[in-house]
Structures are given as structure tokens and as C-alpha cells.
Structure 1
Amino acid sequence: MSPKQINSHIPTAYRHFTAEQWARLRADTPIVLSEQEVIEMRGRGEVISLEEVTMIYLPLSRLLNLYVGATQDLHRVTSSFLGRLQPKVPYIIGLAGSVAVGKSTTGRILQALLARWPNHPKVDLVTTDGFLHDNATLKMRGLSDRKGFPESFDQRQLITFLNDVKSGKSNVSAPIYSHQIYDIVPDESKVIDQPDILIVEGLNVLQVPQLREGSDTPPAISDFFDFSIYLDANVQDIEKWYVERILNLRETAFRDPDAFFHGLAKVSEKDAIDFAHRIWKTVNEENLRLNILPTRERAQLILRKNVDHAISDVYLRKL
């Protein structure tokens, strides 16, 4: 959908900024990343530059820093009211969007920028891929072709993880997913130990849980978020980026004999392209249209990308 289509759906809910207008909100926030650091944070096929970091992500880090500071002040006020120090509670940022839209790169850049601010130096990043059911479970449940759909995740485990982190618990473990083996890594985890900020990146993190008759309303993942971001782009552009990613992986990671998709390194480029388009149409695009895109307007901030992967427009929900 175009920015105009966004506005037609929610004409008063968001303030719209072009990239140039948003860049002016940087104020005097200094750039703390080098061009080389930005290059190292890029996802496969992305072309994000230091200029875009300066124009888009520096103002965003400034806004988030102000929000985090206000939340920390509220925490101190609450502790004063209750007459006792409350456990340290991290500020949680949700980051949603389609496969291949650039969530991982955005998460890494925000993590690096936010960690440079003095009042929240400890910033962790977790992807919800680690909370997918393992391949054996997906196969048993007939969900092997639904990986990434809401039903393919262990929602209870993810909610428990977020509840523990938001409760101020220390040393909370998150499982790890490997795109190389296309499965959960056995006996490995990432430990989250009371960060100042936690960024949670995933496809369906803004989705409202399905209600079942006769059962209690389950919590939503987004219930634990203090701020949420949605990365948006035309569906046709995302499909193009997805195919380009597969072709890039075919020449790099998929050449490893242990890679799940090693077979793609052996077929012709045409066959690899046909495979990528087929998976996009039957899995990723369906998931985007049914489950991911409908959650876009639940985000506090929408970052809109154009065909060259650069952010062209920013939509900030009015308070």
C-alpha cells in the first residue's frame, strides 16, 4: 500500500513525515556509528547507508530515548509512592513486518544507537524466530508449510519469556533459531539479564490472539511492549527483495553442505528464482496479507520503504 492508502485508512491517527522532514527532528543528536559499522549490520541484499541512519534512525533513537527517560521517571515515581524500590523493568520495543522487509537490520541499528545513550547502555535484541516450534513438532502437527504463521510459534513459551523479562527477572533464557539449519538450535539459548531496553523483532508480534469460546482471553505479545514499530513496503517490492535474498544465499550460505537449502546451490538460477517465487506466493505473501499487514495500524510508528529499500516516509501515531 502507498502512503496515501495508509492515510485513507487512518486519516487522523498518525502524523506523517517525509524522510527529509523527519531528519530535521534529529536536533543535535551526534552520529555515533561509522560507515563500516553500518555495512556490517546490513541484512543480505540491503543497501542501508550512513546517510539513512543519520536521517531516519538517529531521530528515532532520540525519540525513543525521550520515551525511555519518561518511563524511567515514572518507575521512580511509582517506587516513591509505594515506599520501596521496584525491580528494574526493561523498556520493550516491538518490531514487526514481513519476511525480507529489513527487520533484522533495523533491530541491529536501533540496538547500536540506543546503547550509546547514557541512561540506557544495556540494550538486547531478541527475534521471535527462536520461539518457533521445532521442525519435528511442526511436521507432527502438519504445519511444515506454515512456518512463520501464528500457529507455528510456541506462543505460551514466548508469553512466559516476555512476562519474566517485564517482571524484572534476571537471566531469562530465549531459544535460538538457525536459518542455516532451518530449525531451533538444540541446547542453545540467549540469556537476557535485566537490560535497560529489549527489542523484540518478529513477523506477528503485533497480532491480537484468537479468542476461543469458553476460555479466558490470552495476553497478546504486544501487551508487553512500551513502543512498537512496523516496517512497511509494497508487497511487490518485498517479493523482489525476498527473491534477491534467496539468490544471494544460493551463492553464499547455501553452499555449505550442512545448510538446509543446500540443494538450491546446485540448481540453475532460473530454478532457484522459480522456487523463491513459489515459496513467496504460497507461504510468505499469504502470511503477510492474512496476519502481518492487518496489524500495521497497531504500531506506534510505521516506517515506509520505497523500491530501493530506503525509508521514504514515517508515520508517528498521535498521543
Structure 2
Amino acid sequence: MDLKLDGAGLSPFRNFSRAEWAALRADTPQPLKTDEIQRLQGFNDRLSTPEIEEIYLPLSRLLSIYVGATQKLFRQMQKFLGPEQNGKMPYIIGVAGSVAVGKSTTARVLQALLARWPNTPKVALVTTDGFLLPNAILEREGLMGRKGFPESYDLPALLHFLTDIKAGRRPVRAPVYSHFDYDVTPNLTVEVDQPDILIVEGLNVLQTSRPPKDGKGIPFVSDFFDFKVYIDADETILERWYVERFMRLRETAFRDPKAYFHRYSSLTAAEADATARAIWRSINLLNLQENILPTRQRADLILRKGGDHEVEAVSLRKL
């Protein structure tokens, strides 16, 4: 991956090899036990102790520095603005990337590690899947084939949620999505009660649109983020991971007659492979190319994965 712009020294990023990034761990302790690492691992992802030690511990150390500095600034702003200023403002981290790239694993690992730092004991995690429009609305609007694209989300609800979080209101509730049902679960929410850190994970969370000419446009989701992480991998690798995950689901969750995708469980191996690749290329690859990948340069940190799911390189935005 080459994140350099045309011309020497113009890149907004500082690039690190895996070994260079691992050295930034310093003396940060490794608090996660083997069984906890296994629980944090995604369905078709791989997570090892070296990955925790060499990639995520340096990242958690970096984020603790950012959070500590922001908390100090907020306290100074409280003094400046007076007693009516809210007593707590969560630090929000956005995690973006393609389907099958391992966003959920990264988000869970960050949550587990950051909760160990003394200045951030309360770390919440929300995925934007819960803010997808219900299937009934997507079907009515002809958007089922574009599920996961920006237009398939209840953007006002997501923006109101983030506004309430940043304002320090409590408690705030987020809707819950069921991958088994492939739909938002009616009347089910998760409570987010003034965390020190909120991690928001989703496909399109770094997306923007053209600024309105009158300057009165609604904010972007990423406007609420204090730090933005993008998980990156080549398209051919992502397709392979997506197909592998589809094939595993065909042998597990899809077997349940109540599962939304139960119909795929009866496919032969060849039919399932062809179906997975068709879904990837017509929906997920298109979304990646049109909406997700163009936001990569807006991240503060880019984790570049190789074919074995391990991070090979890290790019950190310069201050």
C-alpha cells in the first residue's frame, strides 16, 4: 500500500512497518488472557497474542495519550465556560472498513484494552448496523439490494444518538441489529450511559458528501469522532475472506430453519461459492469502491492487513 501523494514529503501520514509500530508498545502490559482473546475474535477473523502485543497495545497506548489530552482540555474548557458546562464528554472513536475486513474484532479489542487504562474505565461499543432502516422500509423503497450503502441507514437517528452522547446526556439508547434475522430487532435497544470512551464501528462512518453551498448542511457522522480508524486490505483478499465466511455460515448459522439466509444452507459447495462471489461483487465490492474506500484518507490511523488477517503496516496521521 502506498499512501504517499504526488511529490516527496506531501503525505499527511507517517508510515510504520509492523516491527516499527510494535516497538511503540514500550512497557505497556498485556492484560488479556488467552481465553479472552479467543472471545474477542470475530467469526471468520484471526486474533493472536502477537497481534495484541505488536499492533493493539501500541494503539491503545496512543489512544490513551489522545484521550488524556482531550480530558485535560475539557476540564480547562469547563473552567473557561463556567459551571453550566456538562460534567463529562465522552471521547468517540470511529472504526471503518469493508465488509469482512475485521472491524468488529478491532473494535472489541480496543474496548477491552482501553478499559484497562486508569483514565478510561468505562468504554462502550456501538455498531451502526442497529441504525439500518428496517427491512420493511428497505423493501418498500427498493433498497434491499443496497443494504449497507449510505442510503440504507436512518441517518437522523444516528446523528441524534451521537449528539446526545457528545452532550453528555444520560442514558442514551441505540437500536440493536440481528444478523440471524438480517434485520433491526423491534423494541430492543442497548443503553449507553456516559462512557469515558465510545467506539462506533460501521461501514460508512467516515463518509462525507459535498459541502452545501449555503453552509447549512447537516453534520456528518464523523464530525462527532475524536479519532478515526480505517481497517484496510486488498479487494482480492477481502473477497476471499467474505467467501470463506459465507461458506462457514452455510455450515452453521444458515442451517437453522429460522435464519434469514437458511435457503443458502442447501446449496452445494460450488453453488455456495458462486453465490457468495456474486453477492460480494454486486453489493459489497460496489459499496467498498463507491463509498467506503474513498474515506480511507480521512482516517487518523490506517491498519493495513495481509492475507493471513494480520496487520502488516500502520499509517498514522501527522499532527
In structure 1, the partner of 2:159 is: 159
Secondary structure of the residue that 2:117 maps to in structure 1?
Answer: coil
Distance 1:11 1:210, change over 3 A: closer
Written as runs of structure 1 = structure 2, the 5 A alignment for 1:11-26 is 11-26=10-25
Cα offset for 1:7? 2.2
In structure 2, the partner of 1:66 is: 65
Q: Is the 8 A contact 1:125 1:200 kept in 2?
A: yes
Residue 233 of structure 1 aligns to which amino acid in structure 2?
A
Cα offset for 1:40? 1.2
Residue 216 of structure 2 aligns to which amino acid in structure 1?
D
TM-score (norm 1): 0.96
Q: Is the 8 A contact 2:86 2:167 kept in 1?
A: no
In structure 2, the partner of 1:201 is: 201
Q: Is the 8 A contact 2:96 2:229 kept in 1?
A: yes
In structure 1, the partner of 2:315 is: 315
Secondary structure of the residue that 2:260 maps to in structure 1?
Answer: coil
In structure 1, the partner of 2:234 is: 234
Q: Is the 8 A contact 1:211 1:218 kept in 2?
A: no
Q: For residues 109 and 223 of structure 2, what CA distance do their matches in structure 1 show?
A: 24
C-alpha RMSD of the superposition: 1.4
Deviation digits for residues 256-298 of structure 1, max 9, x if unmatched? 1111001111111111111110000000000000000000000
Q: For residues 292 and 114 of structure 2, what CA distance do their matches in structure 1 show?
A: 26
Q: Is the 8 A contact 1:14 1:316 kept in 2?
A: yes
Cα offset for 1:81? 1.6
Q: For residues 314 and 113 of structure 1, what CA distance do their matches in structure 2 show?
A: 18
Deviation digits for residues 118-152 of structure 1, max 9, x if unmatched? 11100000000000000000011110100000000
Q: For residues 8 and 92 of structure 1, what CA distance do their matches in structure 2 show?
A: 28
Written as runs of structure 1 = structure 2, the 5 A alignment for 1:223-262 is 223-262=223-262
- 1:31 maps to 2:30: yes
Deviation digits for residues 29-54 of structure 1, max 9, x if unmatched? 00000122111111122122011110
Q: Is the 8 A contact 1:209 1:219 kept in 2?
A: no
Cα offset for 1:115? 0.3
- Runs (4+) of structure 1 exceeding 6 A deviation are 212-215
- Give the number of equivalent residue pairs: 316
Cα offset for 1:212? 6.3
Q: For residues 210 and 190 of structure 2, what CA distance do their matches in structure 1 show?
A: 29
TM-score (norm 2): 0.96
**Structure 2, unaligned stretches of length 5 or more?**
none
In structure 1, the partner of 2:220 is: 220
Cα offset for 1:86? 2.9
Q: For residues 120 and 277 of structure 1, what CA distance do their matches in structure 2 show?
A: 42
